Amino acid sequence: MFETQHEESSDQHSMYRRYLNLLNLIYEMQASNDGVSYEDIQAKYGVSRRTAERMIRAILESNPDVEIVRQRPKRWRIKNAIAAPSPTLQQLAALDAAAKLFKNRGMQEYRKDIEALNRFLKVNMDHSRLTRIDADLATLKDAEGFSYRPGPVQVIESGVLEGLREAVKGFNVVSFDYTSSSGKTMRWFDLHPYGFLHGNNTRSYLLAFVDHPKINALRTFTLSKISMLEVYGDQFFEKQPEHSVENYLKNCFGVFKERRAYNVCWRFDAEYAEVVEQWIFHPSQQVKKRRDGRIEVRFKACGLYEMAWHVITWGGIIEVVRPKVLINTLREIKDSIRLPD
């Protein structure tokens, strides 16, 4: 009896999942200008090629507004708009939580964008339904909390983030005044903006290529220290794939990149093995359980000071095996901290 009920429940869940996948695919085909391919469907929904073909066929048979935007490989999109469903209580609560997190991290411009999106979605909702869920939404909003991280309050000059976004999108050359940590302000010219980095210290950064004979390299600029931004609408740069945000961060431990990436090896005490195995320290990490029960984590990255401060948070349960320069950095930090006798 129990097995029969369980099988029926499993079948219903599978049917619901297939329906939801098909519905999401319809909206994705409507929202995508480049269309959707079989390979896209397989990767996103974790289905076989045959299932991807069946999903496209079902949409083709039920919707006359599907068009092929590319032949090799084939990509489909839906030309005319389809009324989207109202957001769920959980989705609206997630937006509220995201806005609260951005506020907590000092990312006010992002918070404003999230709140504007939330308002837009609510405007298009049925008022009677919105009235019904308002109380639950307020309860969930109050139930979400984020711990505060020590760091400077990030105040970005009005128009800077919006201007830089336009420049990133349009591959426009920019210039701006930049105030260093010492308080000195200087003008930076011929900058090619590639994107934005968000660190763990409540700061956000611009990643830009400095097109100057003495530099010719990527640099990071704290957004809150940028002023007098000028976006040159008639000057463009050619985007270089190796300068992408993803490629920049690939070997970083944190935001700042050094000239050299180090082979890192950390060992954690056996009694904390289960905790450590749940951690992702770096995308390139390899985790191994040693015979003595200790967990060994290896990866390749730069960012010695950010590694050092992270190691300190683990206290006595971590052993730094290599690199030696990280061990020396930890000793320097230890010696530089002033404690009472």
Q: 282 pLDDT exceeds 90?
A: yes
Residue among 282, 283, 284 at smallest CA distance from 310: 282
Summarize pLDDT for 69-122 with one digit per residue, the tens.
888 889 998 887 666 667 888 888 888 988 888 887 777 888 888 888 888 888
| 1: Cα within 13 Å, side-chain hemisphere | 0
Summarize pLDDT for 27-80 with one digit per residue, the tens.
888 888 889 999 999 998 888 899 999 999 988 887 778 888 888 889 998 887
Summarize pLDDT for 141-151 with one digit per residue, the tens.
888 887 776 77
User: What confidence score (pLDDT) does residue 2 get?
Assistant: 40
Question: In this prediction, what percent of the chain has a pLDDT beyond 70?
Answer: 92
- Please state, in angstroms and rounded to a whole number, the distance separating the CA atoms of residues 165 and 167: 5
Residue 118's CB: how many other CB atoms inside 10 A? 19
User: What confidence score (pLDDT) does residue 9 get?
Assistant: 42
Summarize pLDDT for 208-261 with one digit per residue, the tens.
999 999 899 999 999 999 999 999 999 999 999 899 999 998 889 988 888 889
- Please state, in angstroms and rounded to a whole number, the distance separating the CA atoms of residues 95 and 123: 15
What is the overall mean pLDDT for the chain? 87
User: What confidence score (pLDDT) does residue 106 get?
Assistant: 74
Residue among 33, 55, 30 at smallest CA distance from 42: 55
- Please state, in angstroms and rounded to a whole number, the distance separating the CA atoms of residues 264 and 275: 19
User: What confidence score (pLDDT) does residue 307 get?
Assistant: 94
User: Maximum distance among all alpha carbons in the chain?
Assistant: 80
Q: Is there a contact between 137 and 93 (Cβ–Cβ < 8 Å)?
A: yes
| Contacts by 319-323, CB closer than 8 A, 24 or more apart | 319/266, 319/267, 319/268, 320/265, 320/266, 321/265, 321/266, 321/267, 321/296, 322/262, 322/263, 322/264, 322/265, 323/262, 323/263, 323/264
Summarize pLDDT for 153-197 with one digit per residue, the tens.
778 898 899 999 999 999 999 999 999 988 999 999 999 999 999
Q: 7 pLDDT exceeds 60?
A: no
User: What confidence score (pLDDT) does residue 3 get?
Assistant: 43
Question: What phi, psi does 21 have (nearest 5°)?
Answer: -60, -40
Q: 292 pLDDT exceeds 90?
A: yes
Task: Tell how many helices (H) and how many strands (E) occur in the chain.
Answer: 11, 11
Name the packing angle between helices 49-62 and 2-31 (round to 10°): 70
Q: Is there a contact between 243 and 194 (Cβ–Cβ < 8 Å)?
A: yes
Q: Is there a contact between 172 and 125 (Cβ–Cβ < 8 Å)?
A: no
User: What confidence score (pLDDT) does residue 34 get?
Assistant: 87
- Please state, in angstroms and rounded to a whole number, the distance separating the CA atoms of residues 214 and 282: 32
Q: Which domains does the chain have, with CATH numbers?
A: 2-78 (1.10.10.10), 89-143 (no CATH), 160-243 (2.30.30), 262-336 (3.30.70)
Residue among 270, 136, 160, 13 at smallest CA distance from 5: 13
- Provide the pLDDT confidence category of residue 6 given band limits of 50, 70 and 90: very low
Residue among 21, 27, 44, 23 at smallest CA distance from 78: 27
Residue 33 has what DSSP assignment?
A: S
Q: 298 pLDDT exceeds 50?
A: yes
Residue 302 has what DSSP assignment?
A: B
- Please state, in angstroms and rounded to a whole number, the distance separating the CA atoms of residues 166 and 236: 12
183 dihedral zone (left: phi>0; alpha: psi -120 to 50; beta) = left
Residue 124 has what DSSP assignment?
A: T
User: What confidence score (pLDDT) does residue 14 get?
Assistant: 56
